[in-house]
Structure 1
Amino acid sequence: MSAPQQEKPAATEGTANTQAVGGGAGRPDGEPAWEAATAVVRVQRRTVRLLSAAQVIGGVGVGVASSLGSLLAEDVAQSETYAGLARTAMTAGAALVGVPLAFLAQRRGRRASLSAGWLTAAIGGFILVGAAVVGSISLLALGMLLFGIGSATNQQSRYAAADLAEPHRRARALSVVVWSTTIGSVIGPNLADPGAAIATTLHLPPLTGAFLLSSICMTAASLLLWLWLRPDPLLLSRQRAQDEQARTGGPRSPAASASMTGTLRLVGAHLRRAPRAAFAFLAVVLAHTVMVAVMTMTPVSMARHGETLTVVGITISGHLLGMYAFSPVVGWLADRYGYLTTMLVGQAVFVASALLSGLSGGSVAMVMAGLFLLGLGWSFSLVAGSAMLSEATPAGLRPGMQGAADTAMNVVAAVGASLSGPLMSGTGFGGLNAFAGILVLPVVGFSFLLARGGRRRTC
């Protein structure tokens, strides 16, 4: 039996009215799924274009944060001790806002949620400029916290692309939005020099120019979505799903009207009774943890071996290429061969990455190859896992589930990043990669249980 065939029986496991909310290729009576309607397809194409454009524009800020955040923190505080504050505060901001953003989407739609997220991140960027001008560490921390919301908004945009997608195109739609992040992540780190020129003209500290530009870009992304993301893809998909449920006599999901606490309880209950959703949730969280833990310490390891900042920069660029550039291919593979199969390929890529980096012995070529594969394994896991999570969750509960997954992903990754330093100090870069390789075992083990359950249901 092929991998896609193994997955089909499990598609409805623990999911209420999966066919009605777009979990299958068509309705039980043989008619096409509502996502295939001409009007819906037209809205979906426009939605993906808008989301991709917003990712390109707003993603510039995410790229600036990854390259210049620690430098700005060190410059404002006049101490290397505070350099890590940027990463910590931005990660905390992304983690804290995941569920509230999803709850806002659940109540008001993707348009309100995503535009609010980008605008809040832009305000954080303007606060960072002010922090640099007055030399305030407290303002710096607040600005970084709000600026990190841009990362959470960037992540949740991918789910909006899946709201109206046909079941057999869900991963591809999601992956196009993920790919769009590539452009912003490349442009952002290169804004240091143009930003410094603008800052000099405005009599501001040099590093603030890049953050000023990124805040303008995030504001533009917010306006783009607020003005033109109509009809709202989530609200339209929910209405279509409710119409289908009314036609078939299925029960309505209470999630859309639940409180935030009630939504989280429903999310927990669904994860307990829906193995496919639980598997996708676990795979996404652990994949992000593996990526962040190893990526955080790779520049430190390379510096210890005497590599220049230019070489380190090229290595990180290759890593970002692996993360984003091939996501449309990954999306096509996920839709063609199944989400479960694609995520298992991602785990194999993680193992190959750990072997190359862990056994590099200071070899730049091996570290570059290992970090590229680290990003590629993340892409396989995130794209397929996010699509599977959307498929395995009823329409009314999807925003809450997606927000919970992103929050867990950022929190666990932050813990992994904080532990990666002591772990490398105690066991070396090879030991850190070995630990990362071990983290694929829960995903592989869970996948076997999932496949076995699917085979039993077909017997």
Structure 2
Amino acid sequence: MTLTPPATAAPPHPPESPEQRRTLAVLVASQLISGAGLTAGIVVGALLAEQMLGSTGLAGIPTALFTGGSMLGALGIGRLCQYRGRRPGLGLGYAVGALGSLGVVAAVAADQVALLLPSLLVYGAGTATNLLARYAGADLASPHRRARALSRVLLAATLGAVAGPNLVSLTGDVAEAWGIPPLAGPFLLAALGYAAAAVILTALLRPDPLHLARARIAAPAGPEATDAPGAPGAPAAPKTPGPGPGAGADGSGDGGEGRGSGPRFATGLWIMLLGQFPKVALMTMTPVHLAANGHGTGTIGLVVSLHIAAMFLPSPLTGLLVDRLGALPVAAASGITLCGAALLAAAAPGDSVVLLATALTLAGVAWNLGLVSGTAVITAALPPARSASTQGLADVGLAVAGSTGGLLSGLAVTAGGYETLAVACAVVALLVTPLALRAARARVRPA
């Protein structure tokens, strides 16, 4: 009798391709360096405006400008990525952000508001690039790893983003030694970080992940593709009848039965917008609120550092939750969390650094939950042939929401105080939860 060796069970999912591993490594390296530039405007932007414009009511203008610049940057970078690939798009975006950062330094040194405002707008291109890079991490990822891939890119920005606010005093000393006002210091760091990231991406992001993803989909599936369901170019796996753990990044089991890509894209976009608007408004005015209550730049930098860390550090866990449970339950949780954070900020005494820091930290966690889950829904809804430009449009909406939140935050504090602003942010944030739950019910019903 011939003994047949026992069949080896195939792994449930194929491993990451070498190209995907290289893409993630390059993106992670660029994000580690560019993260420091991401926080310059957040930490000192409002303080710069208050100092140079002489009004607390106008302190939200820098946030509105660099998020407006992020909007224009996302539109231009998205279109460039669509037609030329991720490498030239992301590389140019960081280079423009570095140029804007140097413009801010020059404006502060010369005390020229006329130069400060357009420079903040150009600086926003770096912020847009930093966020758009997450989509590049998902280009070559298989569906069951998509949220974790983009989360890894987001996480990489943590080191520089957390270090940036804590280097306010140090970079201020460097700027002062060069004869530049101390508040320009963080923008010197931003210029260096963005320029280095541009060089890394331009030199090393090869092959271009978006071009390769399109080529794999266009290529006919070979015989070996049947051994790797879900791999690029492989036949689609059988559809499952409904949502469940690991069913897909958008929580729909098959990408959203009975719902076209348009409604799914809109759902993902609104999840991100309703988290971005109140988070940016609260984040913009909390440093001003702390300064008005006698706290120095060291304390403000620490609070903002905790907020930034909370925006990015939970990314691996968030990505795992989205891949396992679906994006919509995670999005619903983001609304509840952000609402609670805003209410805590409203109730906290102005001299309580601990409570305000806790509120801003929770707001960062909530933003992360909403951004990763919303991005996962958008990515699952778009084919690679038109993904880059549409992803850019999504981040345009994200920038518009942030710009509006930053602009209105100063006016709200001037009119009704910080507590009024925080309560309004809580109301807006809570809208995410019914939106996500309704979308989840709509996807379960046809199945």
TM-score range, shorter chain: 0.7 to 0.9
> Contact 2:148–2:319 at 8 Å: present in 1 too?
yes
Once the two structures are superposed, what CA deviation does each residue of 1:171-203 show, in whole Å capped at 9, x if it has no partner? 111111111121111222344454455546655
Amino acid of the structure 2 residue aligned with 1:45: R
Specify which of 409, 420, 434 is matched with residue 423 of structure 2: 434
- The residue aligned with 1:243 is 219
CA drift at 1:94: 0.8
Determine the structure 2 residue equivalent to 1:457: 446
Secondary structure of 2:207's counterpart equals coil
Structure 2 CA distance for partners of 1:187 and 1:360, relative to 1, 3 Å? closer
Work out whether residues 165 and 304 of structure 2, in 8 Å CA contact, stay in contact via their aligned partners in 1: no
Residues 163 and 233, structure 1, Cα contact 8 Å, conserved in 2: yes
Q: Structure 2 vs 1, CA of residues 457 and 322 (structure 1 numbering), >3 Å: closer, same or farther?
A: same
Q: What TM-score does the superposition give when structure 1 sets the normalisation length? A: 0.79
CA distance in 1, matches of 2:24, 2:187: 27
8 Å contact 1:92–1:145 — kept in the other structure? Answer: yes
Does the Cα contact within 8 Å between 1:94 and 1:149 map onto a contact in 2? yes
Find the aligned partners of 1:202 and 1:426 in 2 and give their Cα distance.
39
Q: Within 2, Cα distance between the matches of 1:356 and 1:207? A: 29
AA of the residue aligned to 1:353: A
| Deviation per residue, 1:244-271 (Å, 9 max, x gap) | 5998999xxxxxxxxxxxxxxxxxxxx9
Matched residue, 2:21: 45
**Does residue 323 in structure 1 map to residue 299 in structure 2?**
no
Mark the CA change 1:110 to 1:205 in structure 2 (over 3 Å): closer, same or farther.
same
Task: Please list the CA deviations of residues 313-365 of structure 1 after superposition, one character each: whole Å capped at 9, or x if unmatched.
Answer: 33322222221111111111111111111111212212322332233344543
1:235–1:430 Cα change, 3 Å? same
Counting matched residue pairs gives: 404
Tell me which moved more, 128-137 or 382-391: 128-137
Q: CA deviation at 1:278?
A: 1.4
Counterpart residue type for residue 287 of structure 2: P
2:271 paired with 1:295: no
* Counterparts in 2 of 1:299 and 1:176: CA distance versus 1, 3 Å: same
Q: 2:89 aligns with which of 99, 113, 117?
A: 113
1:379 is the counterpart of 2:368: yes
Residues 119-172 of structure 1: per-residue CA shift (max 9 Å, x gap) = 111122233343345443333223222111110011101111111111111111
Counterpart among 291, 315, 333 of residue 321 in structure 2: 333
Which deviates more, 128-137 or 114-123?
128-137
Query: What SS does the aligned partner of 1:148 have?
Result: helix
1:220–1:279 CA distance, 2 compared to 1 (3 A): same
Q: CA deviation at 1:46?
A: 1.2
Q: Is the 8 A contact 1:272 1:278 kept in 2?
A: no
Secondary structure (helix, strand or coil) at the match of 2:141 reads coil
| 1:71 to partner: Cα distance | 5.0
2:337 aligned partner: 349
Distance 1:456 1:236 in 2: 36
Quick one: which amino acid aligns to residue 407 of structure 2? S
Residues 123, 249 of structure 1: CA spacing in aligned structure 2 closer, same or farther, 3 A cutoff? same
Whether the aligned pair in 2 keeps the contact of 1:357 and 1:371 (CA below 8 Å) is yes
**What's the counterpart of residue 130 of structure 1?**
106
Match status 1:60 vs 2:49: no
Change (3 A) 1:309 1:143: closer
8 Å contact from structure 1 (residues 285, 405) kept in 2: no
Query: Which of 222, 227, 232 lines up with 2:208 in the alignment?
Result: 232
Q: Which runs of no fewer than 5 residues in structure 2 stay unpaired? A: 1-9, 223-232, 237-258
Residues 122 and 219 of structure 1 are in contact (CA less than 8 Å); yes or no, is this contact kept in structure 2?
yes
Judged with a 3 Å threshold, the aligned counterparts in structure 2 of structure 1 residues 297 and 248 are, in CA distance, closer, same or farther, namely closer
Q: CA–CA distance in 2 between the matches of 1:129 and 1:425?
A: 28
Aligned ranges 1:360-375 → 2 under 5 Å: 360-362=348-350, 363-375=352-364
Q: Give matches, 1:182-201, under 5 Å.
A: 182-196=158-172, 198-199=174-175
**2: CA distance, partners of 1:60 / 1:221:** 11
CA distance in 2, matches of 1:305, 1:198: 27
Residue 20 of structure 1 corresponds to none
Post-superposition shift, 1:289?
Answer: 0.7
Aligned with 2:387 (options 367, 378, 398): 398
Asked if the contact 1:357/1:433 (under 8 Å) is kept, the reply is: yes
The residue that corresponds to 2:240 in the other structure is none
Distance 1:74 1:358 in 2: 22
Matches within 5 A, 1:129-278: 129-196=105-172, 198-199=174-175, 202=178, 204=180, 206-208=182-184, 210-243=186-219, 274-278=262-266
Shift of 1:59: 1.8
Distance 1:345 1:201, change over 3 A: closer
> Residues 139, 385 of structure 1: CA spacing in aligned structure 2 closer, same or farther, 3 A cutoff?
same
Amino acid at match of 1:414: S
- With over 3 angstroms needed to count, the CA separation of the structure-2 counterparts of 1:447 and 1:83, relative to structure 1, is closer
- Per-residue deviation, residues 193-223 of structure 1 (Å, max 9, x unmatched): 5445554665555555543343232211111
Please give the alpha-carbon distance, in whole angstroms, between the structure 1 residues aligned to 2:48 and 2:415.
30
Separation of aligned partners in 1, 2:375 and 2:359: 24
Q: Which residue of 2 aligns with 1:28?
A: none
TM normalised by structure 2 equals 0.81
Once residues 302 and 194 of structure 1 are traced to their aligned partners in structure 2, the CA distance between those partners, rounded to angstroms, is 20
Extract unaligned runs of 5+ from structure 1. 1-30, 251-270
- What amino acid is the match of 1:169? R
Structure 1: distance between partners of 2:24 and 2:55? 42
Aligned partners of 1:350 and 1:209: how far apart in 2? 31
Could you tell me how far apart the structure 1 residues matched to 2:278 and 2:142 are?
31
Contact 1:279-1:443 at 8 Å conserved across structures: no
Q: Distance in 1 between matches of 2:219 and 2:433?
A: 38
Higher relative helix content? 1
The AA in structure 1 aligned to 2:163 is I
Q: CA deviation at 1:431?
A: 3.4
Query: What is the RMSD of the two structures over their aligned residues, measured on CA atoms?
Result: 3.1
Matched, 1:285 2:265: no
- Cα separation, 2, equivalents of 1:338 and 1:216: 38
> Structure 1: how far apart are the matches of 2:294 and 2:168?
24
308-317 or 350-359, which moves further after superposition?
308-317
